């Protein structure tokens, strides 16, 4: 078995498996990120609509943050500040359409870039082992296009 690690065909299979794992991790991260973006926009839309329909003021945001923390203590990211950001996100992009093909295209472009960089330099993986196996490097999303402004 020790000699197996020295055979070129074995090393190729190992490299192929590693590449497939990394691609699957990238696709998973992108899918989760897309769903979270959609969720945050929908939360912002819900709050905005209720503020307009029922005359809720800004005081609803701290109440929501507190109650979400109490009722979903295992969930993170729903602080008062983050809920304000969700509302601001919706208000900045009120007519945003979520197109699954766009998310798939972004994922494909990231994978292509990562594979190309890795083949060219021996580096360029989107995942940093120091950050954990399922955490993207901050630089991995640096080349993503900015969301277009409405209007």
Model pLDDT, residue 16: 96
Model pLDDT, residue 131: 37
* Domains of the chain, residue spans: 2-137
Model pLDDT, residue 134: 36
Model pLDDT, residue 97: 82
How many Å apart are CA 86 and CA 65, to the nearest integer? 12
Model pLDDT, residue 96: 86
Torsion 110-113-118-121 (CA) sign: negative
Quick count: other Cβ atoms within 10 Å of Cβ 50? 12
Q: Which of the 8 DSSP states describes residue 136?
A: B
- Angle CA 37–39–42, to nearest 5: 110
Counting as low any pLDDT under 70, the low residues of the chain are 1-2, 100-151
Model pLDDT, residue 1: 56
Model pLDDT, residue 7: 87
Quick count: other Cβ atoms within 10 Å of Cβ 79? 15
Please state the length of the chain.
151
- Angle CA 90–42–75, to nearest 5: 115
Model pLDDT, residue 113: 64
Model pLDDT, residue 104: 56
């Amino acid at each position: 078995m020790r000699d197996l690690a020295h055979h070129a065909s074995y090393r190729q299979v190992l490299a192929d498996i590693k590449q497939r794992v990394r691609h699957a991790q990238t696709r998973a991260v992108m899918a989760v990120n897309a769903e979270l973006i959609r969720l945050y926009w929908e939360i912002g839309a819900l709050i905005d609509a209720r503020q307009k329909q029922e005359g809720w003021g800004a005081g609803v945001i701290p109440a929501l943050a507190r109650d979400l923390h109490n009722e979903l203590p295992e969930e993170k990211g729903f602080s008062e500040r983050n809920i304000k950001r969700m509302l601001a996100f919706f208000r900045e992009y009120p007519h945003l359409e979520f197109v699954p093909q766009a998310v798939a295209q972004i994922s494909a472009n990231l994978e292509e870039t990562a594979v190309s960089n890795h083949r060219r330099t021996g580096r360029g993986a989107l995942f940093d082992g120091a950050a954990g196996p399922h955490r993207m490097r901050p630089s991995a999303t640096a080349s993503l296009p900015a969301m277009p402004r409405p209007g």
